[in-house]
Amino acid sequence: MENPETPLEQVRANIAKACTVARRKPEEVTLVAVSKTHPAEAIEPLLRQGQRAFGENRVQEAQGKWPALREANPAVQLHLIGQLQSNKADEAVALFDVIHSLDRPSLVKALARAMDKADKRVPCFVQINIGGEAQKGGCPIGDLPELLKQAGEAEIPVAGLMCIPPLEIEPAPFFALLDKLARDHGLAGRSMGMSGDYETAIMLGATHVRVGTALFGERM
Ligand SMILES: *Cc1c(COP(=O)(O)O)cnc(C)c1O
């Protein structure tokens, strides 16, 4: 894009540039516009500019906002990027097209049951606790093989891996590690990179970047 006029055009241009540097095709990277906390009026301009993939981190908030927006924009693809409680699995499966936060055996069970009941398979990313942070969600790296086995047995389609690197440390080594883990397990998807580091993530193999602030401004 020659002269980006909107934040979305700017982010798209940056993605295209990072893809060129990395010798990747822009079609390989899905921009997930993270609209959490932002009202429908903030989302509509992006829809008008052709943005289709959106990310929310709370089931309840998404249930309030998206059914109406979606009715007017049937091609929308909704991504759940936040921690999911097992007792919300039914609602998540009903509403979302992709789930980025599968991270534990109890959730494999709950999602498998919900998908069976709804007769709908929702592709899931396994979220990895890539920095080994005690307070953070995500599957420990050492538990990944077992979790993938359980997801396979439960017929949950695993799209790839997802991570949120530790704050305030250079994220590139964590992106590289997620890329390697995905490759080792033959998984195509890498959900990594946010407003501050999506270009770095693309250089290191991201297939899905989750960008909020750079598109919508600061959250309240
Ligand atoms: C909020 C959030 C994002 C977007 O973060 P920005 O820095 O606003 O781009 C990405 N991923 C997850 C999991 C989030 O919760």
SS3 string, the chain, reads: CCCCCCHHHHHHHHHHHHHHHCCCCHHHCEEEEECCCCCHHHHHHHHHCCCCEEEECCHHHHHHHHHHHHHHCCCCEEEECCCCCHHHHHHHHHHCCEEEEECCHHHHHHHHHHHHHHCCCCCEEEEECCCCCCCCCCECHHHHHHHHHHHHHCCCCEEEEEECCCCCCCCHHHHHHHHHHHHHCCCCEEECCCCCCHHHHHHCCCCEEEECHHHHCCCC
- Whole-number Å distance, alpha carbon 213 to ligand 1 midpoint, is 8
> Residue 4 has which token pair?
């980006």
Spans in the chain with pLDDT lower than 70 = 1-2
**For ligand 1, atom 12, which residue shows the shortest CA distance?**
81
Spatial contact of 68 and 43, defined as CB atoms under 8 Å apart: no
Ligand 1 binding pocket mutation candidate from 15, 98, 194, 208 (most atoms within 8 A of CB): 194
> Residue 160 has which token pair?
């790839």
Task: Determine the atom of ligand 1 nearest the C-alpha atom of 219.
Answer: 8
Distance (Å) of CA 81 to CA 35, 92, 98, 141, 205 = 11, 11, 9, 19, 19
Task: Determine the atom of ligand 1 nearest the C-alpha atom of 214.
Answer: 9
Distance (Å) of CA 69 to CA 31, 39, 54, 63, 217 = 18, 11, 11, 11, 20
Taking only the tens place, the pLDDT of each residue in 173-189 is 999 999 999 999 999 99
| Residue ranges around ligand 1 (CB below 6 Å) | 34, 36, 57, 81-82, 164, 194-195, 210-214
- Whole-number Å distance, alpha carbon 211 to ligand 1 midpoint, is 6
Region class of 37: left (phi > 0), else alpha (psi between -120 and 50), else beta: left
pLDDT at 101: 98
- Whole-number Å distance, alpha carbon 136 to ligand 1 midpoint, is 14
pLDDT at 2: 62
pLDDT at 156: 98
Alpha-carbon span 57 to 165, nearest angstrom: 17
Domains of the chain: 29-215 (3.20.20.10)
Other beta carbons within 10 Å of 75: 9
pLDDT at 220: 76
Task: Determine the atom of ligand 1 nearest the C-alpha atom of 194.
Answer: 9
- Whole-number Å distance, alpha carbon 117 to ligand 1 midpoint, is 30
Ligand 1 binding pocket mutation candidate from 210, 213, 216 (most atoms within 8 A of CB): 210
Task: Determine the atom of ligand 1 nearest the C-alpha atom of 210.
Answer: 10
**For ligand 1, atom 6, which residue shows the shortest CA distance?**
212
